[in-house]
A and B are shown apart, each in its own frame.
Chain A
Amino acid sequence: MRQRRFNNRSTTRSKTVATLLVAAAMVGAACSSDESSSGSGATTATTASSTEAPGETTGETTAPADSSATGASTPAPDGGSSGEPAVDATPIDNGDITHWQHHSDARAALVEGFIGSYSDAGGAKVNFESIPYSDYFVRLGGALEAGNGPCVFQLPANILAEFEARDQLAPVPDNVMTNAQMEATFTPASIGLLNVGGTYYGMPTDVQTLMMFYNDDLFEAAGLDPTKDFETWDEFREAAIVLTKADGDSLSQAGVDITSSPYQYYYAGLTVAGADGLVDDATNEVTYASDVSYQMWERITGLVTADKVDDPEFLADQSKFGSGLAGMTMKEYTFNGVYALGNPDLNFSVHMPPPFVDGQTAPVVSTSWAYAVSADCDNPVGAWNWISYLTSEAAQRIWIAEGGELPSRIALLDDPVLAEDPAVATGFAALAEAVPYDTIGWDDTFAIQQQIWDSIVVGDADVKSAVDEGAAAENELYESKGVIK
């Protein structure tokens, strides 16, 4: 009897211990889950320090900004060409400004340089934080919601209107630039998405065109001319086939590096396939469930599924072009600098992309971001002064020279000094004809479009049904965002 009682107590105790352990485990798991979320953010900061957003680039291997070292003059905030800064340090502009942007080594270094020169010129103190892209929107969204967000932050032009709809943005004040001045100063492609209901809510930055890059050595080895742009899709495709090399069943050289980063192709193709970009301006509905879009998807996915000029399993997710193992690739213009510094032995040239569809509406597509000011910023004058400084003509010269960017200011497009570099000249020429990638979203729409690519290339889905499904999903997303007119 005694023994039995002991056993029961022992069992009960062991159950209690087990239950306590389970409870502790659940609490521990919850805590560690929190840690892993935040930790992943923190740790991703390490691993993703070179992460760039789709449609946005880092120019991460370009040299850091050092105005004194490069001899670049301090930019003026008023759009003046160069020379001594004319910082508008009005009495209200006397508080610190918090500035957040997602991280890229080159851009962070450039902004640090601008902060120094701005402060030296009597501007406000800028507290700068460069956040890994993977965490950027999580932190920005949370901070703005909590009311402790930054005064100045960077947004893709495509989602500026969403932030405005949440009342989170301050408009560009007239004393900084009127609408007419904005339109006379900046290229239409760079500010088209910054105008919400007749008011501008940001000033453009990180303007890029999606360009073709050729490996000139591989072109010559294959008997191709690396100085010519492709005039038809078939010319491009045939060159890609010639440039492809296989070792048995496996590729040893890709004709086109497309599978590691296909978004540049479909961003460009979707935009130029539609008469009005990929979104109908009148209704804000996507227009890419169409014959011309099917043709574009058929062509770009066919490079992998039919022509086999690239393979998702060949150097998976790595830059084949940057490693000298692909004949061509399509990237943002800034990769001109990235490849030059990342692989000095890579002999490459920058070109206009091939036509994605018959009778396409424009030769090239651009993406851009914007500097915006929080509606809760307690020093809006200082914030806009700082943005004016960052987007001034003199600053843009530094962004172009050291950040591998293209200008958003019209005045710089014809600058003979900048156009001396043939690659820069090609970039400028493309920019003059560029139309913006106009999806109304960013990572959310990217996910849908990437799903179309994956469904066709990896999932063997029929092109039409994959594209129709994607277009329906994107329209449903717009509906849920309330942007359909």
Chain B
Amino acid sequence: MSAGAPSKTRAFRPAKLRKGNSVKRRQAKWAYVFLSPAILLFLVTVIYPMLRSLQYSFFKWPLGNAKKTFIGFDNYQKLLFQDDLFHTSVKNTLYFTILTVIPTIAIALGLALLLNSKQLRGRGVFRTIYFIPVVTSLVAVSYVWRWLLEPTFGLVNTALGWIGIDGPGWLADPGWAMEGVIGMTIWRDVGYYMVIFLAGLQTIPKEIHEAASIDGANAWQRFRRVTFPLLNPSIVLAAIIGVIYGLQLFTQVYVMTGTPSKLPGGPLNSTTSVVLFIVQQAFRPLEMGYSSAAAILLFLLIMVVTLVQLKVVQRKFEY
């Protein structure tokens, strides 16, 4: 093919088509112009700090003018093979994630099905009630739950006492502290996922349900064979958001387990999450290298878990 061939092809292209391409190119250019502030912001506030964090992770990097020493993979090696607290924080975080995401999605789905029913009076009121915790400050609700879970006079144990149950020590007991945090998180997040599922339910064409009913499917079969598969994108979204939030557990633990006299994450590190570990490792000794390595490991964990989730949870479906 000669060098002049493309121009030859262009020469035979109809003028209308050439004009159309030119418009498209101009539109694309403008699209990039309009996108550039967001892209710039993303590069500056997300990508650049991530790259710097990656750089720090290979150094012993105390703040200030103290010497920064390149130590290769030492931080990673210590985190992965020696640091029991990091291992505990990973276990705690995974435990929290599993025990919040699955029940939250199940409860939210149940509520969404109930609140999607046209027979239910006052659906709007119920939807609002369930959504209120979501719009309330996480710090505020965490603080309130700390009082609710107080073992001696807290409302939760008092209520358990009414039905003859001797409540546990909750946040004061290493065996129950994480369960307290999990309970609060489920209570708060259910409304959020409920809204996602309500939106998903309303996109399912009612004709499909009607057809299934005509074919003799009962309520459970309609849910199992029609609603649940067609709700898959919403479930995937909810599961992935839930897992990402779960793996970034921080605020609840920080507020519920920290006191003026005790550092958060206790008792006995039973509620120390990976993000809390990162913050504490960075800002107790003001040493960025080690915590940056932990942050990179958390990033990899989130990425791997999310990809696995996509593979496992996402299903093909057709209307």
Contact = CB atoms under 8 A, between A and B. Distances in A.
Interface of A: 7, 10-11, 14-15, 17-19, 21-22, 25-30, 32-34, 36-37, 39-40, 43-44, 46-48, 50-54, 133-134, 137-138, 141, 144-145, 162-163, 165-168, 250, 260-263, 312-318, 441-444, 446-447, 450-451, 454-455, 458-459, 477, 480-481
Interface size range on B against A: 35 or more
B262 to A, nearest CB: 7
A450 B150 contact: no
B191 interface: no
A166 B244 contact: no
A22 B237 contact: yes
A50 B259 CA distance: 10
B254 A313 contact: no
B66 interface: yes
A454 B258 CA distance: 14
B263 A450 contact: yes
Closest 6 CB pairs of A and B: A166-B64, A261-B261, A43-B139, A167-B65, A444-B284, A316-B172
B248 interface: yes
Interface string B133-148: 0000111100100000
B169 A29 contact: no
A317 B171 CA distance: 10
B258 A315 contact: no
A22 B284 contact: no
Contact of B169 (A141, A312, A481): A312
B81 interface: no
A196 to B, nearest CB: 14
Contact of B255 (A44, A54, A480): A44
A36 B138 contact: yes
Contacts of A145: 63-64
B44 interface: no
Given A313-B152, A458-B268, 10 more contacts: A14-B233, A27-B42, A36-B251, A138-B283, A167-B65, A261-B259, A313-B169, A443-B284, A447-B284, A450-B263
B64 A167 contact: yes
B317 A14 contact: yes
Interface string B48-75: 0000000000001011111000000000
Given A22-B237, A137-B286, A168-B64, A447 B263 contact: yes
Contacts of B310: 18-19, 22
A340 to B, nearest CB: 19
B66 A166 contact: yes
Nearest to A46: B139
A262 B267 CA distance: 13
Contact of A40 (B172, B250, B267): B250
* Max chain B C-beta neighbours (<10 A), residue from A261, A455, A458: A458
Contacts of B284: 137, 441-444, 447
Given A17-B233, A166-B65, A167-B65, A33 B248 contact: yes
Given A10-B318, A444-B285, A480-B285, A312 B65 contact: no
A144 B263 CA distance: 24
A145 B143 CA distance: 32
Contacts of B279: 37, 138
Given A7-B318, A444-B285, A51 B63 contact: no
Given A15-B314, A43-B140, A458 B267 contact: yes
Nearest to B169: A313
A317 B237 contact: no
Contacts of A318: 150
A26 B306 contact: yes
A6 B60 CA distance: 56
A25 B64 contact: no
Contact of A312 (B172, B236, B287): B172
B179 interface: no
B245 interface: yes
A22 B240 contact: yes
B132 interface: no
B183 interface: no
Given A7-B318, A317-B262, A144 B237 contact: no
Given A22-B240, A454-B266, A315 B318 contact: no
A265 B145 CA distance: 29
Given A30-B46, A44-B139, A167-B65, A36 B174 contact: no
B254 A40 contact: yes
Given A11-B316, A316-B151, A447 B283 contact: no
Contacts of A25: 237, 240-241, 244
Contacts of B153: 315
A450 B237 CA distance: 41
Contacts of B150: 315-316, 318
B241 A166 contact: no
22 contacts: A15-B316, A18-B310, A37-B275, A40-B139, A43-B138, A43-B140, A44-B254, A47-B143, A50-B260, A137-B286, A167-B66, A313-B152, A313-B169, A314-B151, A316-B171, A317-B261, A441-B284, A447-B263, A447-B284, A458-B173, A458-B267, A480-B287
A18 B152 contact: no
Nearest to B65: A167
A141 B63 CA distance: 7
Interface in B293-319: 302, 306, 310, 314, 316-319
A484 to B, nearest CB: 14
Contacts of A46: 139
B169 A22 contact: no
Given A11-B317, A443-B284, A450-B266, A40 B174 contact: no
A54 B259 CA distance: 10
Contacts of B170: 316
A4 to B, nearest CB: 10
B280 interface: yes
Contacts of B280: 443, 447
Nearest to A446: B263
B131 to A, nearest CB: 17
Nearest to A250: B152
Contacts of A47: 139-140, 143, 255
A316 B53 CA distance: 38
Contacts of A167: 64-66
Contacts of B139: 39-40, 43-44, 46-47
A131 B139 CA distance: 17
A316 B152 contact: yes
Contacts of B241: 25, 28-29
Contacts of A458: 173-174, 267-268
Contacts of A260: 259, 261
Contact of A21 (B233, B266, B286): B233
A168 B268 contact: no
A52 B258 CA distance: 12
A317 B143 CA distance: 13
A64 B169 CA distance: 38
A167 B153 CA distance: 50
A280 B266 CA distance: 30
